[in-house]
Amino acid sequence: MNFKLSEEHSMIQQAAREFAHELKAGVIERDEKALFPHEFVKKMADLGFMGLMIPEAYGGAGLDTLAYVLVLEEIAKIDASTAVILSAHNSLVLWGLNEYGNEEQKQKYLRPLAAGEKLGAFALSEPEAGSDASSQHTTAEDKGDHYLVNGTKNWITNGGNADIYLVIAQTDASAGHRGINVLIVEKDTPGFTIGPKENKLGIRSSDTHSLMFSDAKVPKENRIGEDGFGFKFAMKTLDGGRIGIAAQALGIAAGAYDLARAYSQERKTFGKPISNHQAIQFKLADMEVEIEAARLLTYKAAWTKDQGLPYGKEAAMAKLHTSEVAMKHTIEAIQIHGGYGYVKEYHVERLMRDAKITQIYEGTSEIQRLVIAREILK
Closest by CA to 312, choosing from 261, 250, 367, is: 367
> Do 148 and 17 share a structural domain?
no
Whole-number percent of the chain with pLDDT over 90: 94
Domain assignment present for 2: no
Q: What is the mean pLDDT of residues 321-326?
A: 98
Quick one: pLDDT at residue 1? Answer: 79
Mean pLDDT in residue range 315-323: 98
Q: Please report, for the domain that includes residue 253, its CATH number.
A: 1.20.140.10
Cα–Cα dist 70/298, whole Å? 10
32: annotated active-site residue = no
Residue 1 lies in a domain: no
In a domain, 162, yes or no: yes
The per-residue pLDDT for 214 is 98
How far apart are alpha carbons 92 and 89 in whole angstroms? 6
What is the pLDDT confidence band of residue 133, given thresholds at 50, 70 and 90?
Answer: low
Residue 138 has pLDDT above 90, yes or no: yes
In a domain, 285, yes or no: yes
126 and 43 in a single domain? The answer is no
Among 56, 85, 119, which residue terminates a domain?
Answer: 119
Model confidence at 242: pLDDT above 80: yes
Q: Quick one: 33 exposed, middle or buried, by C-beta within 10 A (0-12, 13-18, 19+)?
A: exposed
**Structural domain harbouring 30:** 7-119
- Closest to 347 measured CA to CA, from 40, 79, 33, 74: 79
Instruction: Look at residue 315 in the predicted model and tell me its pLDDT.
Output: 97
188 and 247 inside one domain = no
Chosen domain end from 72, 102, 119: 119
Measured in degrees and rounded to the nearest 5, phi and psi for residue 268 equal -115, 140
Give residue 57's pLDDT band: very low, low, confident or very high (50, 70, 90).
very high
Q: Do the Cβ atoms of 102 and 254 come closer than 8 Å?
A: no
- Given a cut of 70, whether residue 181 has pLDDT beyond it is yes
Judge if 209 and 258 occupy the same domain: no
**Beta strands, E only, the chain:** 120-123, 139-142, 146-157, 164-170, 180-186, 192-197, 208-219, 268-269, 272-273
pLDDT at 127: 87
Q: Band of the pLDDT at 187, cuts 50, 70, 90?
A: very high
First to last CA, the chain: 28
Cα–Cα dist 154/9, whole Å: 36
Least confident piece of the model among 11-15, 327-331, 362-366? 362-366
pLDDT at 129: 67
Q: How many domains, the chain?
A: 3
Percent of the chain with pLDDT over 70: 98
Range 71-82 average pLDDT = 98
Both 202 and 110 in one domain: the answer is no
Which of 186, 362, 366, 375 is flagged as catalytic? 362
Q: What pLDDT digit, counting tens, does each position of 32-52 carry?
A: 999 999 999 999 999 999 999
Same-domain pairing of 359 and 246: yes
Mean pLDDT of the chain: 96
Q: Reduced to 3 states, what is the DSSP secondary structure of residue 153?
A: strand
Specify the CATH number for the domain of residue 175: 2.40.110.10
Residues 154 and 66 in one domain: no
Do the Cβ atoms of 211 and 165 come closer than 8 Å? yes
